[in-house]
Chain A
Amino acid sequence: MTHRLPIELTLNGRPQRVDVEVHHTLLEVLRDQLGLTGSKECCLVGECGACTVIVDGRSVNSCLMLAVEADGHEVRTVESLARAGDLNELQRAFLDKGATQCGFCIPGQLMSAEALLEHNPDPTVEEIHEALAGNLCRCAGYEQITEAVLAAAEALRR
């Protein structure tokens, strides 16, 4: 038996109302009902980080959060990063440092990095590794991802 409830959230800066199945995750609603497929689906157990979004300023595995739990909260996805088509500093740094390979994990990496930099504008390498430890990259571009986060942090501090 399915059961639907309406939820209201702020999604990428705009109010969003949507009726959701109570057992659906935030990831399923973002991808299948709201057409935001930037957040990716891989392990569905909160281990790979491909589905990472920012909820009220904190990075969250959207596969582990029920959509109804997002009711009344502020959710940001990878689609919010570029403004009017202009890439933000992190996105540019990911391209310039070669951090993006197959690209499937990148939306999650970017959202974890975005959340990190909002709290810590001058992270060390160890802090970056820690903050992004929940985002698997099988291309293993970890060195370049770290370099990109450092470069973006520096650019944002200027």
Chain B
Amino acid sequence: MTAGAVGTSPRRGGGHGRVTGAQQYVGDIRMPNMLETRLVTVDAAHARILSVDTSEAYKVPGVHLVMTAADLPQPVPRFGPQYEDRPVIAVDEVRYHGEPVAAVAAETRDAAEAAARLVHVEYEELPAVFTVAGALDPRAPLVQDPSLRRGPLASTNVLNEHRHEWGDVDGAGAGADVVVENTYAFPMVTHFAIEPHGFIAAPDGDGIAIWSSIQHPYWLQRTMARILGLPLARVRVLAPDPGGAFGGKQHVKYEPLVALMALRTGRPVRLTLSLEETFQAARRNSAEVRVRTGFHSDGTVTFREIIADYLLGAYADISDRVVGKGTYPGNGPYRVPACRIVARAILSHTPPSTAFRGFGAPQVNWAVEANLDEAARQLGIDGLEIRLRNLARKGEVFIPTDRPADGDWQESVRRAAELIGWNSPAPPGHGRGIAVGIKLGPTTGLSYATVRFLGDGSVLVYTGTSDMGQGARTIFAQIAAQELGVPLDRINVVSGDTFAVPYDQQTSASRSSVLMGNALLDACHRIHEQLRSMAARLHKVPESDVVVERGVAVVGGREIPLVEVLLAGLGRMGGELIGNGTARKEEMPGHPLGGDAAFYEFNCTAVEAEVDEGTGEIMLHRHVTVSDVGKALNPLQVRTQDEGAAIMGLGHTLMEHYIYDEAGRIRNLGAIDYRIPTSKDLPLEMVSAIVENEDGPGPYGAKGMSEGALLCVAPAVAAAVQQAAGVVIRDLPLTPQRVWEALEERRRSREPEVVS
């Protein structure tokens, strides 16, 4: 087998630059004459802009431009992946805390900063809505101008309502022995990539070049071409590997503003967000989810009804899709005869919410799994058993409009139970919880890959996937190594330049190993075809007598390395072979989501926890995460994705949440007052395991896998806390304060279990 091929864990592609400091992220790029930008905001969640006075700001030495809405093309261009609702800069009103009213470009950051403070914005603060109840109040101010919207909901703050239903939910209630109904809350949290978003734009001949830490460079290219009225061939997007993204860097944010400033000044313009500004640029949708489930006394589910309200920001970004796609499998991986899911995407005066690892699934998963545990306790069935009784079997249809269960999910659940020691008694004071989660892979997709087998037998792979830490470069090099028989140190993966690398729809939904992986496999097969002709010519046999596979050509029973065939075949003129591959997942007309899932991400998480009765602090003794990955193309990268997702899940479970004041301003912007897990917050023992049945649609049977381990962390921890301390908490995060208050309530009531 070729060194570094599929199934091994070679060093990360791009790793050398990452440990030496040589890796260039957007913020590290230096270019001559570049201006630095600072945004101007007002300290309000909702305000009418009365005037913007830039005269003092222009007096600061080194200031070249103070861009306001009045300086932009009119009407001010709007953009957005689903609704073109977001203006380049605030128009007339500020609709969330942190929405920029102006932007200063100056020779230095100091000058831009000083001038930004001198931009005088006169504004009138208006009432803001920043909770579900507030946004739905009939007297609530409308977040968006109804003239910008269509349909019967345009005069409400509900952007869209998604309904998905099968079976007779209303009739099934009568047949249930027990009905359990409760509401659960999922907090507003942010991606907190350690690299804050960075943007540079520069005039480029008669077009424009834009550098961005974006996940979807080709989407940015299309958006900029539309806004600027340029052909795609004049819009070059350069996307250096992002320093973490997690969904928060999928879509266009300040690139249009920076591009228009570059064109206005004729100079390169850079904007690097502060960490505080990233909190106001991207976040996860918070949610309130009501779940009503009917059960037979043996624990089988008879029906389930889910009412999910997701709180979006002032502009939709991709969040209507997050709500629709995230809640569609909201019932979970269970066999349920009747189910109704009603999910609303609700606008508010808060920062734009967007994709975030799990894409809308963790919110509803938290509610449904926690509801299942409440039922299990009422029915006297344990958490493992009630899940196994309802879990869909491989091949079984569990969402009538979608693909059947595509994995042996029981195997993952049994493995997790075994690794947590489910059937042995927990030590005194400890509690255990187990939960499962699923998420849909991509429903449509289009990826192209190009492979150049160069004249010395080395390889260039061109893939438009953004490597944001998930390790796409490594995986693609491994696939090429496997197929062409070339060692990894002779393979280079090129990405991040829309003028050099062919189109890829997007880097999201854990799709790249599957979709781009298949495109790359296709490109390698195109090269195999050419090598087959070469080998036939060289050995004077018919092409039908040559077999090319996995790095070798087999001619007359003899295996010849493909590199040998290439070098002999190219001859004295040299040259190279080029293979172009495509992977396409077509839309499915009439499907509720426009297409079925390419695969399911399935995970089972089990934890053992202890609760400090004095402080309310939760101590995690053991955290087990088991994902069904089909095939681990790189087992170490699979492990780091699973453990990373699990620990990120502990963030929204235990500590992360935005805190608003009474006027809708965020009070805990930045790293001091918003905590994410550190090396001191880890479970004492983290155990990750995988199930590999090579039953995925990707290369060698792989499935996408980077989000699963986050999906059901919260319900597993909450169940363990309930078992350890006898308290049920339905609002995340389970902060020490919240747990302590529940413990106090329990002590006061002297009841064995209380709910808060």
Which residues of A line the B interface, CB within 8 A? 2, 21, 31, 35-45, 47-48, 50, 77-79, 81-82, 87, 91, 94-96, 98, 100-107, 110, 128-130, 132-146
Contacts and interface: CB of A to CB of B under 8 A. Distances in A.
A140 B643 contact: yes
B313 to A, nearest CB: 21
B19 interface: yes
18 contacts: A31-B28, A40-B194, A79-B21, A81-B20, A98-B9, A98-B636, A102-B193, A102-B195, A102-B468, A103-B15, A103-B243, A129-B679, A136-B194, A137-B194, A139-B644, A140-B643, A140-B646, A141-B644
A143 B678 CA distance: 11
Nearest to B272: A41
A94 B30 contact: no
Contacts of A78: 19-21
The 7 tightest CB contacts between A and B, nearest first, are: A38-B21, A104-B243, A102-B469, A103-B18, A47-B671, A140-B647, A43-B671
Given A104-B25, A129-B679, A139-B640, A91 B20 contact: yes
A105 B679 CA distance: 13
A144 to B, nearest CB: 6
A35 to B, nearest CB: 7
B23 A103 contact: yes
Contacts of B17: 103
B110 A79 contact: no
Interface in B266-296: 272, 274-275
B26 to A, nearest CB: 11
B30 A128 contact: no
B18 A133 contact: no
Contacts of A103: 14-15, 17-19, 23, 241, 243, 469
A129 to B, nearest CB: 4
B679 A42 contact: no
B584 interface: no
B20 A133 contact: no
Interface string B667-688: 0001110001111101000100
A152 B736 CA distance: 36
Given A45-B671, A104-B194, A139 B244 contact: yes
A79 B17 CA distance: 10
A100 B244 contact: no
B20 A87 contact: yes
Nearest to A130: B680
Interface string B1-38: 00000000101101111111111110110100000000
A94 B245 CA distance: 21
A95 B19 contact: yes
A126 B680 CA distance: 9
A141 B272 CA distance: 25
Contacts of A41: 27, 196, 272
Nearest to A105: B194
A101 B275 contact: no
Q: Looking at chain B's contact residues, is the secondary structure mostly helix, strand, loop, or mixed? A: loop
A96 B19 CA distance: 11
Contacts of A39: 21
Contacts of B9: 98
Residue among B19, B637, B680, B682 with max Cβ neighbours from chain A (10 Å): B19
Contacts of A105: 194, 243
A35 B570 CA distance: 44
Interface residues of B, number: 58
A28 B110 CA distance: 11
Residue among A21, A137, A140 with max Cβ neighbours from chain B (10 Å): A140
Nearest to B648: A140
Contacts of A106: 18-19
A31 B100 CA distance: 27
Contacts of A130: 680
Contact of A138 (B20, B30, B194, B643): B194
Given A136-B678, A138-B192, A102 B243 contact: yes
Contact of B679 (A40, A79, A98, A133): A133
Contacts of A141: 640, 643-644
B710 to A, nearest CB: 10
A136 B196 CA distance: 13
B708 interface: no
Contact of A104 (B244, B636, B672): B244
B439 interface: no
B637 A98 contact: yes
Residue among B30, B637, B646, B679 with max Cβ neighbours from chain A (10 Å): B679
A104 B195 contact: yes
A77 B21 contact: yes
A129 B244 contact: no
Given A39-B21, A102-B243, A104-B244, A96 B647 contact: no
B640 A98 contact: yes
Nearest to A28: B109
Interface in B180-219: 191-196
A142 B194 contact: no
B471 interface: yes
A129 B680 contact: yes
A15 B14 CA distance: 31
Contacts of B407: none
Interface string B439-468: 000000000000000000000000000001
Residue among B11, B22, B274, B678 with max Cβ neighbours from chain A (10 Å): B678
Contacts of A133: 678-680
Contacts of B636: 98
A66 to B, nearest CB: 14
A36 B670 CA distance: 25
Given A95-B19, A98-B9, A45 B244 contact: no
B400 to A, nearest CB: 37
Given A79-B20, A139-B469, A45 B670 contact: yes
Given A45-B672, A141-B643, 7 more contacts: A48-B671, A77-B21, A103-B23, A104-B193, A107-B21, A136-B676, A139-B644
B251 interface: no
Nearest to A88: B19
A145 B18 CA distance: 14
Contact of A102 (B21, B30, B244, B639): B244
Contact of A143 (B11, B645, B682): B682
B246 interface: yes
Contacts of B640: 98, 101, 139, 141, 144
B275 A43 contact: yes
A43 B275 CA distance: 5
A107 B243 CA distance: 12
Nearest to A82: B20
A100 B243 contact: no
Contacts of B30: 35, 37
Contacts of A138: 191-194, 244, 246, 648, 676
B439 to A, nearest CB: 18
